[in-house]
Structure 1
C-alpha cells in the first residue's frame, strides 16, 4: 500500500534537499545551519505524520524521499 504524502511533507523535504544541494556546492557555516534546520523540520514532520497514520516512520521517510527526488528528476 502506497503512503499518501501531504503537500507540507513534500514542501519540507524539497526545502531540505535544496539546502543540502547548496551546502554541497557552496559550503558555509550558514548553509550548514540552514540545512540542519530544514532536515530537523522534515524529521519532526515525518515522525508526527507516521504516528498519525499508523505507519512505520522509516517507511514514510523512504516514500517521501523517493517521491521528492522523482519529482526533481522530472524537472531536469
Structure 2
C-alpha cells in the first residue's frame, strides 16, 4: 500500500496526542505504586489511554517501515524527519517509561 509522508505526520500526531494523554494521567494520578494506589476508575482510565497510545504507535511503526521501504530510506531516517516536525512528547520530561 502506498503511503505519503503527510499520512505519516498525521499518524505521528495522533500517536503523540495519545502519548500526551498518558503522560497527563500519570502526572495527575501519581505513581501507581504510591501509598493508597489508584482507584479502580483511575486504573481503567489509564490502561485505556495506554492501550490507545500503544496501538497507534504500533500502527505508526509498521506504516513508517512500509513507507521507508517504498522510498528507499531507513526507518530511523523517516522517524527523525517526523520528529523534526513533531517533537517527542517526552522531550524534556526526564522519563521514557510507558
TM-score normalized by the length of structure 1: 0.79
| Residue number in structure 2 paired with 1:7 | 6
Aligned residues: 65
Q: Residues of 1 paired with 2:60 and 2:79: CA distance?
A: 9
| Structure 2 partner of 1:16 | 15
Q: Structure 2: 5+ residue runs without aligned partners?
A: 27-45, 88-98
Q: Which has the larger radius of gyration?
A: 2
**Displacement of 1:39:** 0.4
CA shift, 1:68, in A, is 2.1
Name the residue aligned to 2:54: 36
Structure 1 segments (4+ residues) deviating >3 Å: none
> Which one has more relative contact order, counting CA pairs under 8 Å at least 6 apart?
2
Normalising by structure 2, report the TM-score: 0.62
Deviations 1:11-31 (A, max 9, x none): 000000000000000140000
Residue segments in structure 1 that go unaligned for 5+ positions in a row = 70-76
Partner of 2:77: 59
Whole-Å separation in 1 of the counterparts to 2:49 and 2:83: 21
Distance in 1, matches of 2:19 and 2:74, equals 25
